Structure 1
Amino acid sequence: FWLKFSWPRRSKVAVCMMRFLLNLCFFFVLIARAEAKASAKASNVSGPGAQCLPTWAQKTSGSEPPVCPYGSRLIFDVTWPNEGPRYLAVLCVLYGYVPFLIMFMAAQHLVFKRTTRELSFIAFCGASSAINEFVFKKLLLEARPVGSCNLTCGMPSSHSMFSVGFFVLMFLDAATRVNPMFVVDESNWQRQAALSKCYRWFVLPLALPYNMSNERFVRTVLWWLVILLPVPFTRVWLNDHSSSQVIVGSVLGTISACIWHWGVHMRVAKLMDHPTWDGWTWPSSWGKWYLLTNNIFIPWWVSSNGVRIDHMLEDDSNKVSNGDTRCRRVTLEVRQGLWSGEAQLQASSYSLVA
């Protein structure tokens, strides 16, 4: 389904945008059909889940679909209210789709790049959503507040659990990318500036460089703060969740993100960092293509190989004067006396000479 053309460079941005929009439309069409089938069966729910139905849905007689008096029910359990300022309604509804747009972007990046970091993000989203929908909501069985047009249970909030959990996961992932030394990320900045605008908008927010300076770390955290943390407040404003449902979902998202990062993400990354795995690549039968490549950054304090090439910054202005153009001199400065001094990086064997 993905479009692949050998067009001129100036047309690649348009092709990328068209491919992204087509896949996004296809994704929303599938979800809309699934939501329509689920809504048709929601009014006939029997058993424990029936107590989560609102009053206006329980009074429906015959085969007529329930009509919400408070507004319209959109896909992904988002209510479009009849009352209130229009600009706030539009803003809150758009924020209600932010978690699903992020999952779609991560899935797009996983399909095209086949990297382990995005696979970990997708697995976390799927695992947390499944546990919330099929475990917590089935056990708690708390209805949504008055004013919501959704027919499912509301405790805990899935949107809040995902948004806060994904923010904590990205915060911890960015924290492991900050070296103890202040990294002047000139090479990565120049590389990003040369990319197309489409790639910078839709790929780089999920594919940051390995080495991050303190300034880039602050910008990254602020970016995800603005994108994700308003989601719980918008759910309360739309009356899709109560304050207690949002708080419980946020707490569960924080706990699940911490458990996933330290119990799954970092453990698997450390296992992949072992020399016997040889880069953790799975070659396919098509030749140069790889089904999965490892791009999870291993911090130097958990790496089984010590300080590696991607933990250091190459300084082109301080070349080694031995005639070998493959040699560069890099400066390592780790605080608290763990590592200090200069090292010579050999590009052919990646060996360190203290």
Structure 2
Amino acid sequence: MSIVTRTFFSISAPTESVGFWDVVFSFYGMVPYLVPMAIALELILHRRSWTRLFAFLFIPIVAIINAVILVKSLGECSECERPCGCCVSSNGMPSGHATNAIGLCLWLILETLLGVGRQWQLVTKAVACVGFILLFVPVPYSRMYLGDHTALQVGIGSANGVVFGLVYFFVLRYVVGKRLPGATERMMKGRFQFLKMSNDFYPIKGDVPTALAPLVDTEQYTRSESPREMEEATTK
């Protein structure tokens, strides 16, 4: 079991004299891995939508950026070593678990308040936000509790997650979202129609644009007319 937790989940799970909080924080240490797995299963078995796909892709994208850019740029810094007794061999600066958890939590909260969930009732929004906080926010502390990271590594990782969460939200809303209606239509007519991808990222009817979550132009939601249809419309 320790090999699985150390290799797959990158945590130093205690194996002797295990107490209640050992189990709790070991679970929180696995949250950044369990959540994408759950989202992937829900995406495959239940409903294929852009919001679910974006939620699934967040942690892999951030993990790649951390590993390729941040960890390599820091190199063998004096603060990169993990605490003594840690069973994980990789560098500890910054904490990837903290980055993934805080970043995904912030993005989900922003989408709940300003994005796909802004039409929800206030109670639904509050419950969702509280749920995200309870699920993700304890993750950084769990890394210190299990002895896998120092407070500095966790702090920088959490700040890193805030930046990634904000960037992810604005890039999806202002750049990627504008292309989703056309991409969804092409997928439904092309070779990828078997995926049955639905565009739930921008509700089409009864939606109200906001400054932080603007709607795509309504013209992009309508099917483009053929030249013959346009000619017939002008003659009428």
- TM-score w.r.t. the length of structure 1 is 0.52
Relative to structure 1, the CA distance from residue 87 to residue 287 in structure 2 (aligned partners, 3 Å threshold; closer, same or farther) is: closer
Corresponding residue for 2:188? 283
Q: Percent identity?
A: 22
Deviation of 1:115 (Å) = 1.6
Structure-2 separation of matches of 1:243 and 1:128: 21
Corresponding residue for 1:125? 59
Structure-1 separation of matches of 2:31 and 2:67: 19
Listed as ranges, the matches of 1:178-217 within 5 Å are 178-179=117-118, 211-217=119-125
Corresponding residue for 1:97? 30
Corresponding residue for 2:155? 247
Relative to structure 1, the CA distance from residue 165 to residue 123 in structure 2 (aligned partners, 3 Å threshold; closer, same or farther) is: same
Relative to structure 1, the CA distance from residue 300 to residue 79 in structure 2 (aligned partners, 3 Å threshold; closer, same or farther) is: same
Question: Which structure carries more relative contact order (alpha carbon 8 Å, separation 6+)?
Answer: 2
Code of the aligned partner of 1:102:
V
Structure-2 separation of matches of 1:137 and 1:287: 36
Corresponding residue for 1:144? 82
Relative to structure 1, the CA distance from residue 77 to residue 170 in structure 2 (aligned partners, 3 Å threshold; closer, same or farther) is: same
Corresponding residue for 2:202? 297
Instruction: Mark the runs of 5 or more structure 1 residues left unpaired by the alignment.
Output: 1-27, 37-71, 180-210, 309-354
- Could you say what the CA RMSD is over the residues aligned between the two structures, in angstroms? 3.0
Relative to structure 1, the CA distance from residue 109 to residue 82 in structure 2 (aligned partners, 3 Å threshold; closer, same or farther) is: closer
Structure-1 separation of matches of 2:191 and 2:180: 24
Relative to structure 1, the CA distance from residue 121 to residue 278 in structure 2 (aligned partners, 3 Å threshold; closer, same or farther) is: closer
Listed as ranges, the matches of 1:208-227 within 5 Å are 211-227=119-135
Deviation of 1:292 (Å) = 2.6
1:21-47 deviation digits (Å, cap 9, x = unpaired): xxxxxxx9xxx9xx88xxxxxxxxxxx
Code of the aligned partner of 1:212:
W
Code of the aligned partner of 1:110:
L
Structure-2 separation of matches of 1:215 and 1:281: 37
Corresponding residue for 2:179? 271
Relative to structure 1, the CA distance from residue 279 to residue 300 in structure 2 (aligned partners, 3 Å threshold; closer, same or farther) is: farther
Structure-1 separation of matches of 2:193 and 2:167: 36
Deviation of 1:237 (Å) = 0.6
Deviation of 1:242 (Å) = 0.5
1:302-322 deviation digits (Å, cap 9, x = unpaired): 12229x9xxxxxxxxxxxxxx
1:122-169 deviation digits (Å, cap 9, x = unpaired): 222211000112221122231101121111110001110010000001
Given the alignment of the two structures, is residue 165 of structure 1 paired with residue 73 of structure 2, yes or no?
A: no
Given the alignment of the two structures, is residue 79 of structure 1 paired with residue 16 of structure 2, yes or no?
A: no
Q: 1:109 aligns with which of 42, 47, 54?
A: 42
Instruction: Mark the runs of 5 or more structure 2 residues left unpaired by the alignment.
Output: 222-236
Q: 2:69 aligns with which of 122, 129, 135?
A: 135
Structure-2 separation of matches of 1:241 and 1:217: 33
Deviation of 1:80 (Å) = 2.0
Whose strand proportion is higher, 1 or 2?
1
Query: What's the secondary structure of 1:212's corresponding residue?
Result: coil
Query: What's the secondary structure of 1:90's corresponding residue?
Result: helix
Q: Report if the CA contact (8 A) 2:85-2:147 is conserved.
A: yes
Structure-1 separation of matches of 2:14 and 2:56: 31
Relative to structure 1, the CA distance from residue 231 to residue 286 in structure 2 (aligned partners, 3 Å threshold; closer, same or farther) is: same
Code of the aligned partner of 1:305:
T
Q: Report if the CA contact (8 A) 1:279-1:294 is conserved.
A: yes
Please identify the structure whose Cα radius of gyration is greater.
Answer: 1
Structure-1 separation of matches of 2:190 and 2:174: 30
Query: What number of residue pairs does the alignment pair up?
Result: 206
Structure-2 separation of matches of 1:132 and 1:84: 34
Relative to structure 1, the CA distance from residue 129 to residue 214 in structure 2 (aligned partners, 3 Å threshold; closer, same or farther) is: same
Structure-1 separation of matches of 2:154 and 2:185: 39
